Amino acid sequence: MPLIVLAGFGILFVSLSFAVSVGAVSVPLRTVWGVLSNQMGLGLITPDWSSGREAIIWDIRFPRALLAAIVGAGLAVVGASLQAVTRNPLADPHLLGISSGGGFGAILALLHTGLFIGLLTVPLMAFLGALAATAAVLAVARFAGASSADRLVLTGVAVSFVIMAAANLLIFLGDPRAAHTVVFWMLGGLGLAQWSHLIYPLMVLLPCAIWLWSRAADLNAMTIGDETATSLGIPVVAFRRSVFVIGALVTGVMVAFSGMIGFVGLMIPHIVRAIVGGDYARVLPCSAIAGAIFLLWADIIARRVMAPEDMPIGIVTGLIGGVFFVALLRRQI
């Protein structure tokens, strides 16, 4: 396990370096880390680059790469946790409608309510939307008697369609001059990343991920079944509700800063479990690292395919995730 985590951090470091280096203007890796060391006051490398190149690296690419890592880690951890408490290998914030709820909340704030509490308005509304979508999925599943894993996913997809229809209605009723801004949240993107904004998703992700990791034994028990978990003294209903609320919080905030990015929470936990096994004490931290690496490379692809234009990152993850989803369905059958 320590060697796997160490290797993961090594790959993450290389991926982060490469993500900052590539773009419409390629930058040597030596310059990338020279700028970083100088910004941190270390002064390890004598500056031999222009101020414009330093601005590209420090003000644009580093925040974008770090946001990709944070969002990827958050979505992967949420996906792994949801798969445990639902005993559903297909559970994912996107498929269960949580991302759609977060997008609806963000669109409502941007086009209709306005930033009534400043920069925190969009993350707050995205969280409330994600939480409402989670409650709706659980309520519809209970009403329809959709207790099986497959039917829960179908319920989430159905609720997601309804929420997206409502979001499209908000766009239609909103100011046409501002409607183009919500395309970012509909398709996913990291182009609006700023240093001042990174603290918000990080402040949400760290305590939530630590709490989930501290409950790794409970998550392991939930994967076996409710009866086994109850026999071990776990309040199953309350614990499942807590994980859903945590998932809604993390997903809502990630959606607020990156838009709706699908399939990260579906793919990464399966890949990680194939490498480290099913113990959630290992699955959660490794999923966070792998999710960060995956989204960094997805963003690199999004920036390179249509350079100098940025392809929405949600398109890249959707294409990869769709193929993975079909392969997973075939394996489950």
Mean pLDDT along residues 23-45: 77
- Does the pTM surpass 0.85? The reply is yes
Distant-in-sequence contacts of 28-31, Cβ < 8 A, 24+ apart: 31/57
**Mean pLDDT lowest among 18-27, 177-186, 258-267, 307-316:** 177-186
How much of the chain exceeds pLDDT 70, in percent?
95
Mean pLDDT along residues 59-78: 94
Q: How confident is the model at residue 43 (pLDDT cuts 50, 70, 90)?
A: low
Q: Tell whether the model's pLDDT for residue 259 goes beyond 70.
A: yes
Mean pLDDT along residues 253-282: 90
Please identify, in words, the CATH class of the domain defined by 2-332.
Answer: mainly alpha
pLDDT at 210: 96
Mean pLDDT along residues 11-34: 85
Per the CB < 8 A criterion, the answer to whether 302 and 315 are in contact is yes
pLDDT at 149: 57
* Mean pLDDT for the chain overall: 85
Tokens 């509909």, located at residue: 186
Q: How confident is the model at residue 300 (pLDDT cuts 50, 70, 90)?
A: very high
Q: Tell whether the model's pLDDT for residue 198 goes beyond 70.
A: yes
- The closest alpha carbon to 103, from 192, 163, 176, 178, belongs to 163
Tokens of 261: 């990015």
Q: Tell whether the model's pLDDT for residue 194 goes beyond 70.
A: yes
How much of the chain exceeds pLDDT 90, in percent?
28
Q: Tell whether the model's pLDDT for residue 21 goes beyond 60.
A: yes
Q: Tell whether the model's pLDDT for residue 97 goes beyond 70.
A: yes
- The closest alpha carbon to 68, from 308, 249, 313, belongs to 313
Q: How confident is the model at residue 62 (pLDDT cuts 50, 70, 90)?
A: very high
Burial readout 176-210 (b: 16 or more C-beta within 10 A, e: otherwise): eeebeebebbbbbbbbebeeebbebbeebbeebbe
Q: Tell whether the model's pLDDT for residue 203 goes beyond 80.
A: yes
Q: How confident is the model at residue 75 (pLDDT cuts 50, 70, 90)?
A: very high
Q: What is the pLDDT of residues 283-298, one digit of tens each?
A: 999 999 999 999 999 9
- Which of 54-68, 287-301, 316-330 has the highest mean predicted lDDT (pLDDT)? 287-301
C-alpha distances in angstroms, 74 versus 29, 93, 108?
27, 11, 23
Per the CB < 8 A criterion, the answer to whether 163 and 126 are in contact is no
Per the CB < 8 A criterion, the answer to whether 268 and 294 are in contact is yes
Q: How confident is the model at residue 44 (pLDDT cuts 50, 70, 90)?
A: low
Tokens of 84: 């445990």
pLDDT at 60: 87
pLDDT at 148: 57
**Mean pLDDT lowest among 29-33, 72-76, 142-146:** 142-146
Q: Tell whether the model's pLDDT for residue 333 goes beyond 60.
A: no
In whole angstroms, what is the distance from residue 60 CA to residue 192 CA?
A: 9
SS3 242: helix
**Mean pLDDT lowest among 114-128, 189-203, 205-219:** 114-128
pLDDT at 150: 60
- The closest alpha carbon to 288, from 322, 264, 312, belongs to 264
pLDDT at 217: 93
